[in-house]
Chain A
Amino acid sequence: MRAENVSQKPKFWILHTLLIVLAFFMLVPFAWMILTSFKSLGESVHVPVIVFPKSIHWDNYIDVLYTMPFLTFYFNTIAITALKVLGTLIFSSLAAYAFARIEFPGRNVLFVILISVLMVPGQIYILPLFLIMRDFGWLNTLQAVAVPGMFDAFGVFLLRQFFLSLMKELEESAKLDGCNHLQIYWRIMLPLAKPGLIALTIFTVLASWNELLWPMIVNSSPAKMTLAVGLSWLQGRHGTNYPVLMAGSLMALWPMVLLFLTLQKHFIEGIAMTGTK
């Protein structure tokens, strides 16, 4: 083990220097955001750029709280995201299991139709979805934002690939033991697909947390808005107060960072496994 380490040393250094440089570039926008959130408006728009603010402007953070009901937006965003994740996991995995393991007539055609949904830009659906929500009487509700996001073609595709990569023998032996499809799905497939489910969770959380247009279209009352919408309020028609916007973005962002840090191990595992089968 030790001998191997030594012989690998130059490679190790090259790789790590490269990774550190790349990590640095990834972190620059983030650091810039933090720095800008403490600047005065003048410092934030100055050319050439001013990197460090002369004095710390905490008031940018207070301004955000005056602009929008931040707590309500937190609650709404978390509620919508939780609903979406739960829905996506249940519906996607059930559909994916069917597409991966159950032979039924028209399966491939159906799957292609489902996948083709991925090719259509999301804006196309806005109007029909809006009309459906109106007919449900759901305009200006949290479920109007959450429910349409629960049916995710990408999630079905991702999990189907995952299920296909699992050994068929496991399932066959379960069948011999008298399991029906739902039992196989619940007892065998789901536990094995954990990395895939976690990857899908993260994708869904991110997409839901950042979604802007749909909540803004379907809801009107400030009491039903999300964090992303609140942040867009900070952009004026003529000119934007960037320090306040950055302060707001940071306040909206930290739960995502926290989530990523705690689930990091699973996340990387999930991505790696979906990639290599």
Chain B
Amino acid sequence: MRKLLFALLALCLTAGLAACSGSSKNGSSKVTLTYAIWDQNYQPAIEQAIRKFEDSHPNIKVKIELTPWSQYWTKLDTGATGGELPDVFWMNQINYVKYAANGIIMPLNDQMEAGQIDASIYPDGVLDYYTNEGKHYGLPFEMSSIGLFYNKKLFDAANLPYPDETWDWDDVRKAAEKLTDPANGVWGIASTMSTEANYYNTIYQNNGFIISEDKKTSGLDRPEAIEGIQFWVDFIAKKQSPSAAQMSETSSEKLFESGKIAMLYDGSWIVKEFADIDYTKENVDVTVLPKGKVSANIVAATAMSLNAKTKHPQEAWELLRYMASREAALIYSSTGSFITAVNGTQEGWVKSVPFFNLQAFIDSATKFPKPFPTSKDTMKWFTLEEEYMLKAWSQEMSVDEMAKQLAQKVNELLAQE
């Protein structure tokens, strides 16, 4: 036993030493860049693009660093404090202003003004998702939008026509009532307490807003927003949707995958899972969100940002530029992993699941996109909002009362920004 332990110890030490000498060798002519991501499901697509990049840039080697979503920001924050960040990394709309304000990510204006990026390849406005005070902090590569998933089997059983682009809120309400079947444990719709997938959409569809254009006031206590939230809470009150408690026990997606829910608003990110499960594969399809006073759909884009203190700014920029290019987008799209952010490259994704009408997501994202609302310190009011919304969702408090209290608190936070 003791011998074994010593052997192991010796082995570890040599391994450690070998690792040290390995990393110090790299500095010579070949540049090694690191590229950080948070989703393993997207890794194969990213890897393919990176291989192509390395082929055309023989002096650059790129290492992918995967940190799952739940630890990604902790790791990034620690790395930022210690001055040890990847050269290029994924960024989202909620967090980029914070990183920009602290000088952690590099503004890309110089490169863009020098014409190294053709801004017209991205859908209108998407670059602005990562623009703060006139400075661009990220180039998008992935987008998501929201659709109405429905269970064809349950619609057939209730003798109802499938939802389509002509539907409005009233159609949803009527269908939810008819589809609800307590005897069989079936709910007409799921009022998931989700910003992006649910109530932000209905607030915008009702001509409301979350945060004013000047980022000074919350719009959540306006009648338009209250109605947009009430739309969802009503389903719970009428027992046409599972309660908040039920959905925290079993997510609405799991219930939908088991045929317990007839209609579900959800994001393009869930398509892969529904396509992998036999039940949803056979019985489910998707269409654009029903309209309220207007059509609206929350669109979010994931971007890549450049480490402001990278040791290889030129090479890192080359990498970022390639990964946001049309050529790379076509590679991502061919794997069917996600909606690409470059105009006209989404066909591969749409065709990746031929039995769902995925074009609905592209149409929503291009025809009536609403960017995910953000301010300087989005995370602060976002967390607060979740806490207050739960009170309305669990019917502890009326939507009116909740919205008033919440908006007041959010306004206080916005005033501090």
Contact = CB atoms under 8 A, between A and B. Distances in A.
A146 B40 CA distance: 26
A238 B267 contact: yes
B71 A221 contact: no
B85 to A, nearest CB: 10
Contact of A238 (B36, B270, B279): B270
Interface string B218-257: 0000000000000000000000000000000010011101
B257 A45 contact: yes
Interface string A248-265: 000000000000000000
- Interface SS, B side: helix
Contacts of A274: none
A50 to B, nearest CB: 10
Given A42-B278, A83-B12, A130 B82 contact: yes
A134 B85 CA distance: 12
B40 A140 contact: no
A221 B65 contact: yes
Contacts of B254: 45-47
B41 interface: yes
Nearest to A241: B276
Nearest to A146: B12
Interface in A18-64: 40-42, 45-48
A190 to B, nearest CB: 13
Chain B: interface residue count, which band? 35 or more
Contacts of B156: none
B93 to A, nearest CB: 14
Interface in B14-48: 15-16, 19-20, 23, 34, 36, 38-41
Contacts of B278: 40, 42
Contact of B78 (A67, A126, A233): A126
Given A45-B277, A47-B255, A235 B70 contact: yes
Nearest to A82: B8
A166 interface: no
Interface in A179-236: 212-213, 216-217, 220-224, 232-236
A9 interface: no
Interface in A95-134: 126-127, 130-131, 134
Contacts of B68: 232-233, 235, 237
A79 B15 contact: yes
Contact of B258 (A46, A83, A234): A46
A234 B260 CA distance: 27
A178 B260 CA distance: 79
A47 B70 CA distance: 26
A237 B65 CA distance: 15
Nearest to B260: A47
A237 B269 contact: yes
B273 interface: yes
Contacts of A78: 8
A86 interface: yes
Given A139-B84, A142-B15, A237 B69 contact: yes
Interface string B263-277: 000010110110011
B273 A79 contact: no
B130 to A, nearest CB: 19
Given A41-B273, A79-B15, A140-B23, A236 B75 contact: no
Contacts of A239: 253, 269-270, 272-273
Nearest to A238: B269
A161 interface: no
Interface residues of A, number: 45
A40 B38 CA distance: 25
A143 B17 CA distance: 9
B78 A130 contact: yes
B349 to A, nearest CB: 15
Interface in A134-151: 134, 137, 139-143, 146
B74 A213 contact: yes
Nearest to A218: B78
B67 interface: yes
A237 B272 CA distance: 12
Contact of B67 (A143, A216, A236): A216
Contacts of A222: 65-66
A57 B5 CA distance: 38
B63 interface: yes
B159 interface: no
Nearest to A237: B69
B78 A217 contact: yes
Contact of B277 (A42, A47, A126, A232): A42
A217 B5 CA distance: 28
A268 B279 CA distance: 48
Given A216-B71, A217-B75, A41 B40 contact: no
B379 interface: no
Given A41-B276, A42-B278, A46-B258, A82 B9 contact: yes
B260 A233 contact: no
B235 to A, nearest CB: 19
A82 B10 CA distance: 11
B265 to A, nearest CB: 14
Given A86-B5, A233-B40, A142 B34 contact: no
B273 to A, nearest CB: 4
Contacts of B36: 220
B81 interface: yes
B183 interface: no
A131 B82 CA distance: 6
Given A232-B68, A238-B270, 13 more contacts: A42-B276, A45-B257, A46-B254, A67-B40, A79-B11, A127-B82, A134-B82, A221-B63, A235-B68, A236-B39, A236-B40, A239-B253, A239-B270
22 contacts: A40-B277, A40-B278, A45-B254, A45-B257, A46-B257, A46-B279, A47-B254, A47-B260, A79-B11, A79-B15, A82-B5, A82-B9, A127-B78, A131-B82, A140-B19, A142-B15, A220-B65, A221-B63, A237-B38, A237-B68, A237-B69, A239-B253
Pairs A-B, 9 closest by C-beta atoms: A79-B12, A42-B277, A237-B69, A238-B269, A47-B258, A239-B273, A82-B8, A220-B65, A143-B16
